[in-house]
């Protein structure tokens, strides 16, 4: 199914989850670049970070079936998949044996819906289910417009989606901060209403939003604070209770896709996270005795992978990079039989 929709271009371009050659960090980079563009142009915009409730568990089989048929999946295959899920009997397996009580099965008057955690088809199904939802936002006029400086053409997108982790953005050239807030509120309501059509819902406690706007302080432009540009956004939770979404200042970062990003571009929160990660890793290795080969393997396959992942979306200074790498090197170089003061140019020299 995914192979076919990639060839036909049937997936929403904003959806990066469940697709080949689409990485979570690429989406984080796109978000960071959008923040950069808004800052460089002193342009207003509003961004809301969303999280769907129990994404796979709440997918209704009827909207999932329609979404799969839309991209050409035969009905008999869909019926085979969903009838198996609806008629399956679920028990709990423990060390003392399987539970006698169970739920599900063909005798239930209302069959259980949802794709289920661990279902190999789940990511692909959500990709095709979420595509119409993103298309609704785009066709309703929501999103961010950016003028390409080379081609002089506009392109528009409605947000950044990686499976159920979706950020909705609203920034049009002619919009004021107040207009951006009002338009984003409409977009969030539209997204929430569309999500309920798939039997899903949003979690207000896992949602935050920023307003990017600028004020002149007499000598330069600076980010407007919440006090300078007041406003709030609300959303219905899964039980239809209206909740206020937490708003952050432009310098406050929020973690999405494993990276802390802030509209003003500062990387302090992610820097602190990386410092804590290396400190914990080094403390863990100090408590044991491992060989030189194991030290090298642990360095390359664990902590460095953790540090490499967010780098494309960050703007760390040279001093910050040294502060992050100092604890691992101070431990690993002596453990490898190398002087800890060995020139770093030779330490990092490629073979």
- Three-state DSSP at 235 gives strand
Q: Give pTM, 2 decimals.
A: 0.89
The residues, any chain, with a CB within 8 Å of residue 337's CB and separated by 6 or more, are 292
Q: Say how far apart CA 101 and CA 197 lie, in whole Å.
A: 32
> For residue 148, what are its two tokens?
């390409």
Q: Say how far apart CA 254 and CA 260 lie, in whole Å.
A: 5
Residue 68's pLDDT is what?
96
Helices (H), the chain: 2-8, 24-40, 61-70, 75-87, 122-139, 177-197, 268-286, 292-298, 304-308, 318-335, 344-347
**R_g of the chain computed on alpha carbons:** 24
> For residue 299, what are its two tokens?
């360095």
Residue 11's pLDDT is what?
94
State the CB neighbour count (10 A cutoff) for residue 242.
9
Residue 198's pLDDT is what?
84
Tens-level pLDDT at each residue, the chain (351 residues):
999 999 999 999 999 988 988 999 999 999 999 999 999 999 999 999 887 666 677 889 999 999 999 999 999 999 999 999 998 888 899 999 999 888 888 777 788 888 887 888 988 999 999 999 999 999 999 999 998 889 999 889 999 999 878 899 999 988 899 999 999 999 999 999 998 888 887 888 888 999 999 999 889 999 999 999 999 999 988 788 899 999 999 999 999 899 999 999 999 999 999 999 999 999 988 888 889 899 989 999 999 999 999 999 999 999 999 999 999 999 999 998 899 998 888 888 876
Only one residue has tokens 């967010």, namely 310
Residue 54's pLDDT is what?
63
C-alpha closest to that of 196 among 63, 15, 50 = 63
Residue 271's pLDDT is what?
97
The residues, any chain, with a CB within 8 Å of residue 295's CB and separated by 6 or more, are 285, 332, 335, 336
Q: Are 113 and 61 in contact (CB under 8 A)?
A: yes
- In the chain, what are the domain boundaries? 10-53+142-258, 268-347
| CB-facing half-sphere around the CA of 106: CA atoms within 13 A | 2
Enter the DSSP assignment of 351: -
Q: Any idea what the Cα angle at residue 236 is, between residues 232 and 242, rounded to 5°?
A: 65
Residue 195's pLDDT is what?
87
Size of the chain in residues: 351
**3-state SS record for 170-223:** EECCCCCHHHHHHHHHHHHHHHHHHHHHCCCCECHHHCEEEEECEEECCCCEEE
Angle formed by the axes of helices 122-139 and 177-197, nearest 10°: 140
């Amino acid at each position: 199914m995914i192979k076919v929709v990639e060839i036909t271009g049937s997936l929403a371009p904003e959806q990066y989850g469940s697709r080949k050659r689409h990485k979570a960090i690429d989406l984080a980079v796109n978000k960071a670049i959008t923040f950069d563009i808004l800052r460089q142009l002193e342009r207003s915009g509003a961004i809301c970070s969303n999280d769907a409730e129990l994404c796979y568990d709440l997918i209704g089989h009827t909207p999932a079936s329609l979404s799969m048929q839309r991209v050409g999946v035969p009905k008999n295959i869909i019926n085979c998949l969903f009838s198996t899920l609806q008629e399956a009997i679920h028990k709990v397996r423990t060390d003392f044996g399987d539970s006698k009580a169970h739920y599900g099965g063909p005798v239930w008057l209302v069959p259980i819906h949802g794709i289920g955690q661990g279902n190999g088809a789940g990511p692909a199904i959500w990709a095709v289910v979420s595509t119409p939802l993103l298309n609704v936002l785009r066709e309703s006029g929501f999103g961010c417009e950016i003028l390409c400086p080379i081609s002089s053409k506009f392109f528009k997108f409605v947000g950044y989606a990686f499976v159920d982790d979706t950020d909705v953005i609203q920034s049009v050239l002619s919009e004021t901060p107040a207009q951006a807030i009002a338009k984003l509120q409409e977009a969030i309501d539209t997204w929430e209403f569309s999500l309920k059509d798939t039997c899903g819902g949003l979690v207000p406690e896992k949602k935050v939003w920023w307003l990017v706007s600028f004020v002149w302080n007499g000598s330069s432009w600076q980010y407007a604070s919440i006090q300078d540009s007041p406003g709030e956004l609300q959303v219905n939770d899964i039980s239809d209770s209206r909740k206020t979404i937490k708003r952050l200042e432009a310098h406050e970062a929020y973690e999405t896709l494993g990276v802390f990003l802030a509209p003003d571009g500062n990387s302090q929160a992610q820097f602190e996270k990386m410092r804590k990660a290396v400190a914990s890793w080094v403390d863990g290795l100090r408590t044991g005795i491992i060989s030189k080969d194991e030290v090298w393997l642990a360095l390359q396959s664990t902590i460095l992978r953790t540090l490499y992942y967010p780098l494309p979306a960050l703007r760390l200074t040279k001093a910050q990079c040294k502060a992050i790498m100092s604890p691992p090197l101070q431990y690993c170089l002596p453990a490898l039989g190398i002087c800890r003061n060995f020139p770093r140019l030779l330490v990092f020299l490629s073979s």
